[in-house]
Structure 1
Amino acid sequence: MENRELQQQVPGALFPRAVLFDLDGTLLDSAPDMLATANRLRDAQGLAPMALAQIRPHVSKGSRAMLAAAFPKLKTAAREAMVPLFLETYLQELGRHSVLFDDIETMLAALEADGAAWGIVTNKPEYLAREILPQLGWETRCAVLIGGDTLAEKKPHPLPLLIAAERMGLAAGDCVYVGDDERDIVAARAAGMPSIAALWGYRQDHERPAEWGADSVLESPAELLIPANWPQPLSSPGA
């Protein structure tokens, strides 16, 4: 994927030349898979199932945050020891319950029709992210995939976004990053990449996306179908 040479394309008339996305909470509603994982672990300890609403705000924060929500009475060291089991169990539930957010597939098709390339930069371990792509039919469409363990750094460090742009043969300023977590926007700003904060994703009550510094803040994936809602790439003429 990321090592294949992208075809030379005329910059699109509507959308940016390239778009990078976070995965969970941005493209994919994976909270149901996470819930099934957490409840299997809870059941093994004789605990009642938790509700989707209890785990959903924590999904974008990673396995440790979800374990803290699922096992709030456990000490940090005990939860840390459960991370490998959580990931192993999640691999078994991967894609069984999750769905794309509304209008995501339509939006990706619109990008492709406009000549834009798109890829994924996620903090999910790369092997888990790669398992998802064939389930969605994205293995030949996604131009680059960077996971949380692909490089020496992960978001909010800018390195994953910089390397993703480099592997697509573009400057960071030629791309736009879309994510639902503050770390996504921090990473994009540090990389010099325009960004969109996705309000349809996973967010805790205290978080204020309007204060993250994104170039655009959108309520739903349908708004990504409107070219005017995309920030201007920094390296475009007149930017």
Structure 2
Amino acid sequence: MTLTTRHHILFDLDGTLVDTRAAVVECYTRVFRNKLDSAFPPKDFPVADLFAMRPAEVFAVVAPDRVEELHAAYRDTYPQCTALVKVFAGIRDMILELVDAGRQVSVVTNKGLERTLIDLGVAGIPPETFTTIVTAEDTVERKPHPAPILLGLSRANGKVEDAAYVGDGPQDILAARAAGMPAIAVTYGFYDRTILETHAPDVIVDSPAALAAALGVDAASAKGAAE
């Protein structure tokens, strides 16, 4: 499989381009403390699962009668936590090199548009860098359903055979496979290699530098840590 010539590269956001783990956990912690008078994470609720779920889905599990209230509190609180958002080292350079090479880069995330734009701003990656950005508001379905990825590809006027999807979680691998394109899994995000290998991605990489190499761009400064 040749990924270096694929024209359309679609990316997950959290755990792939930006490290939002600390910001998300802090936001939930504040909402749980201030609104539910309880600790976060709740018992028997793996933190890793949060990054595959929308906030409303999380609140539907822990307080199904207060979803709207808690989701609103989450939206209001998240901007206060953005100092904790980091961009993975080398990611900005990789994205810019892909664009400079004439390739189309897009974001497809389960996250809402407002928080997506906040994260990209903190990361120093202008939204207009991307051909399109697909967020939670754009499809009823979320990954692992292929609809968000296919919408992003359609907006970019791309074809499945000329595209690949990059993500850090099982839901990303499953969505890419269902969409009919190669899945590139990164282990520097929220899921470890063992979990990702269980879902058999087409390619698995351990750092932004390795990701850049897999995509055929020279991002020698990419080292894997968050900036």
Measured against the shorter chain, the TM-score band is 0.7 to 0.9
Given that 2:18 and 2:119 are in contact with CA atoms closer than 8 Å, whether structure 1 keeps it comes out as no
TM-score by length of 2: 0.77
Secondary structure at the aligned position of 1:154 is classed as: coil
Aligned to 1:30: 20
Question: C-alpha displacement at 1:152, in angstroms?
Answer: 2.7
Question: C-alpha displacement at 1:47, in angstroms?
Answer: 5.3
Cα-to-partner distance string for 1:118-162 (whole Å, 9 max, x where unaligned):
010000112321333344232220111001221232211111111
Q: Which structure 1 residue ranges, 5 or more long, are not aligned? A: 1-12, 69-73, 231-239
Question: C-alpha displacement at 1:43, in angstroms?
Answer: 3.7
Which structure: greater helix fraction? 2
Separation of aligned partners in 1, 2:138 and 2:204: 28
TM-score by length of 1: 0.74
Given that 1:20 and 1:178 are in contact with CA atoms closer than 8 Å, whether structure 2 keeps it comes out as yes
- How many aligned positions are there? 208
Aligned to 1:84: 72
Question: C-alpha displacement at 1:80, in angstroms?
Answer: 4.1
Q: Which structure 2 residue ranges, 5 or more long, are not aligned? A: 218-227
Question: C-alpha displacement at 1:99, in angstroms?
Answer: 0.5
Residue identity over aligned pairs, in percent, reads: 27
Select the residue among 177, 181, 195 that pairs with 1:208: 195
Separation of aligned partners in 2, 1:43 and 1:150: 31
Answer with 1 or 2: which has the greater Rg.
Answer: 1
Cα-to-partner distance string for 1:77-130 (whole Å, 9 max, x where unaligned):
36746333223322x235321011122112112212322110100001123213
Aligned to 2:183: 195
What RMSD over aligned residues (CA atoms) do the two structures have, in Å?
3.1
Select the residue among 8, 30, 34 that pairs with 1:18: 8
The one-letter code of the counterpart of 1:88 is D
Given that 1:59 and 1:202 are in contact with CA atoms closer than 8 Å, whether structure 2 keeps it comes out as no
Are 1:142 and 2:130 matched, yes or no? yes
Are 1:100 and 2:93 matched, yes or no? no
Change (3 A) 1:94 1:177: farther
Given that 2:184 and 2:205 are in contact with CA atoms closer than 8 Å, whether structure 1 keeps it comes out as yes
